[in-house]
Amino acid sequence: MKTMRSIFDQTFVKSLKGDEKGKMRRNKLVIVAIAMLCMFAQPALAAPVISVEPSYQNVLQGDTFTVNITVDPADAEVMGAQYDLYFNNMLLNATEQTNGTFLCQDGASTIIVTNEINNTIGLVGYGETRIDVDYGVTTPGVLSTITFKAMEPGTSNLSLSNVVLSDPLGGEISGVVVNNGSVKINETHFNISGFVNYSDGSPVSNPNVTITNLNTSEVFIADTNASSNYYLVPTNFAHISEGDELHFYATDNIGNFTEFDHTVTQAEMDASGFVQNITLYPPDTTPPDITNISAISITKESATITWETDEPSDSLVKFGSQPGPGNYTETVYNASLVTYHSILLSGLTLNTTYYYVVNSTDSSNNSAQSSEHNFTTLPEMIISIGDASTVSGENITVPIIMNNITRVGTADILLSYNQSIVHVIAINDSDFDFIDAVIDNSVGVTRIGAYQISSPGLNGEVKLANVTLKAVGSGGESCTLNLTINELKEAGPEEISIPATTHNGTFVVVENTPPGVTNPTANPPSIPEDTDSEPRWGETSQLNVTVTDDCGVASVSINLSSLGGSPDQPMTRIPGTDIWTVTVNASVGTAIYNGSYLPHNLTVYATDIFGNVNASVSIQLTVILNGDVSENGNVTLYDAMYLGKHVLDKPGFETMNEGIGEVSGNNEVTLYDAMYLSKHVLGESGFEILH
């Protein structure tokens, strides 16, 4: 702080740094004259004042309060200010010092040279100066604000020292009047007290009680004595505030303890303390007593296991689909400490027996486990209506069936459908004692109601009703027969709903027009017999046919039995088209010759989704003896000669089915094939098979 004068001097020099030397010489005499004038005028001016405000305060122990350090320049231009403020560090604790608006009241920038708080010696130091201007302030204002916390009762002086106010030239302003202050701290009390007892009501003599303020980390040790279970923590507002979280820890020094948190309220501050009685719980070595184990609310995929205990404890169910402790492959746990326990087991398999035990552990880690019990999940209960189809204008009857039902007494079911495709004509023939229905074909809804009168409920497979349907739509139209459960309940005195799912049906108006079959083609239209049973180049033909149907084509097949193939060979649809295709070859002995080669008529069978079949179209394919390039019904040396002349482009031999002439198996027709064919005709070894 003793260097503040030099700091202000440096700041002043910097503010003049941009002036030219010549200008400073020209102004030198003016400055001297002004300085002399100020010296003679000084006695007539009021002295600047730096003050602690308010000069006196009366506060409570634990209070937080502030003081302002104010400056009245008394017409002097103040460029910078510094001070040290001393206080009694046994009574006060300085927590914060912030700058005021005195030096920047006109918008000028300032720098804080020092801002120091030292509670060890009871000192607050501060220094601030204006920058980037060459003039000071003359209006009073707050230089800084200091925040204190009152720690102990007594009176503390707030004494200013090392006070320096500087002018724009960096010089110290003389004659500064210093006004100190003081604060009186009045004593406060905050007492936390109570009695420590065991859970059975007996006193805990000479307990150990520790309270930790979690907001300040202060630890308080309670006053106790050997002849009493009373404890007392005397403190004050300096150490306890509204909203503080206090952690209590109490023990009897033989292993029993308890701990908990308490938040201080404003009412407790107003009352200067509060009473907190403490209970210790001796060790519990008795496990819970488990009774009334039951499996309830059993469905096809879930069940709830319930039991009771004589003390609060957690809930654990171990279970599996096989009996015995080693087969409990699943567990469900709830950590809540309760006396009535309920655990839902979900994701189970329908119609399955599960074996389980229940386990409960109390807060002292005493655990008890039951013997093994079991339950069986329900099979899937289904209400279904079957698919139905008939031609337009005709009737058909289909039942609504309940499967795996148990104790059913009441059923209220909606059947909805597309009224432009199908109508309900009648509802009758139910397994229930009473049945009635409201049929509304104008909107396509029929409501069926049934209930039992004479029996405790129907079980197993139960027929709700036969439904007579009439097809009113066009061939190929279809719609869903949709079931909705309004009500399905047991026949007992308690109103218990039965969970069930619905399986809907489909109604189709049958069409009796078979598919259309056109454009039968074979490419190529003739092939040789496959004499080596290995379909090669030129020995296969692709058979195509176009099949169309408004309702959909189910399948297309072709009879290849005359070629040595399947009588029901499937054809494949070419994606994105109505063309169905199959590639075929011809077995040995399938060539038909009667003055010329005759074609095979291969019948196509096109079937639609209703089973209507069109077998009126055949694909013609001619089979020729392999090597009979002259197509005279025999394979002779003439064919070898013909083949050779064809290869050599001799006039009169231009026409030839090259698939018939390629007999060597190399996928091309050359003179080698003519030679191969001649050797075959002559029976030479190695040429027995035509490829």
The answer as to whether 178 is a domain residue is yes
269, containing H or E segment: helix 266-270
pLDDT value of residue 476: 86
Contact by Cβ (8 Å): 368, 289: yes
Contact by Cβ (8 Å): 582, 569: yes
**% of the chain beyond a pLDDT of 90:** 76
Please state the length of the chain. Answer: 691
Give the Cα separation of 427 and 449 in Å (integer): 10
Q: Residue 128: is its pLDDT beyond 70?
A: yes
The total of other beta-carbon atoms located within 10 Å of residue 366's CB is: 16
The answer as to whether 295 is a domain residue is yes
142 and 234 in one domain?
Answer: no
Domain containing 354 equals: 290-376
The answer as to whether 1 is a domain residue is no
pLDDT value of residue 45: 54
- CA angle 665/666/671 to nearest 5° reads 100
| Average pLDDT value over all residues in the chain | 90
CATH number at residue 555: 2.60.40.10
The answer as to whether 666 is a domain residue is no
170 and 82 in one domain?
Answer: yes
pLDDT value of residue 46: 85
Per-residue pLDDT of 494-503, as tens digits, reads: 888 988 999 9
The answer as to whether 179 is a domain residue is yes
233 and 137 in one domain?
Answer: no
Residue 58 structure tokens: 């009366």
CATH number at residue 239: 2.60.40.1120
Query: Which residue spans within 87-199 are E strands per DSSP?
Result: 92-99, 109-118, 123-131, 141-150, 154-166, 177-179, 181-186, 190-198
131 and 85 in one domain?
Answer: yes
pLDDT value of residue 673: 87
271 and 411 in one domain?
Answer: no
Give the residue-averaged pLDDT of 47-73: 96
pLDDT value of residue 200: 86
CATH number at residue 425: 2.60.40.680
Give the Cα separation of 126 and 320 in Å (integer): 77
Per-residue pLDDT of 560-607, as tens digits, reads: 999 999 999 999 999 999 999 999 999 999 999 999 999 999 999 999
Per-residue pLDDT of 179-196, as tens digits, reads: 999 999 999 999 999 999
The answer as to whether 662 is a domain residue is no
What's the burial of 483, exposed, middle or buried (CB within 10 Å: 0-12/13-18/19+)?
A: buried
Range from 57-66, 402-411, 519-528, 658-667 carrying the lowest mean pLDDT:
658-667
242 and 227 in one domain?
Answer: yes
DSSP of 391-406: ETT-EEEEEEEEEEEE
The answer as to whether 642 is a domain residue is no
Q: Residue 294: is its pLDDT beyond 50?
A: yes
179 and 142 in one domain?
Answer: yes
Range from 28-37, 334-343, 513-522 carrying the lowest mean pLDDT:
28-37
Domain end call among 454, 477, 510: 510
Per-residue pLDDT of 310-352, as tens digits, reads: 999 999 999 999 999 889 999 999 999 999 999 999 999 989 9
Task: Note if the bond before 325 is cis, omega within 30 degrees.
Answer: no
Tell me how many domains the chain contains.
Answer: 5
432 and 400 in one domain?
Answer: yes
Give the Cα separation of 140 and 347 in Å (integer): 80
Domain end call among 260, 280, 300: 280
pLDDT value of residue 39: 39
117 and 12 in one domain?
Answer: yes
What's the burial of 365, exposed, middle or buried (CB within 10 Å: 0-12/13-18/19+)?
A: exposed
pLDDT value of residue 664: 85
Place 646 in a pLDDT band, splitting at 50, 70 and 90.
very high
Nearest CA to 183 out of 50, 51, 69, 61 is that of 61
142 and 27 in one domain?
Answer: yes
Q: Residue 135: is its pLDDT beyond 60?
A: yes
440 and 369 in one domain?
Answer: no
338 and 234 in one domain?
Answer: no
Nearest CA to 276 out of 228, 219, 230 is that of 230
The answer as to whether 502 is a domain residue is yes
Domain end call among 280, 300, 327: 280
The total of other beta-carbon atoms located within 10 Å of residue 239's CB is: 17
Q: What is the pTM of this model?
A: 0.42
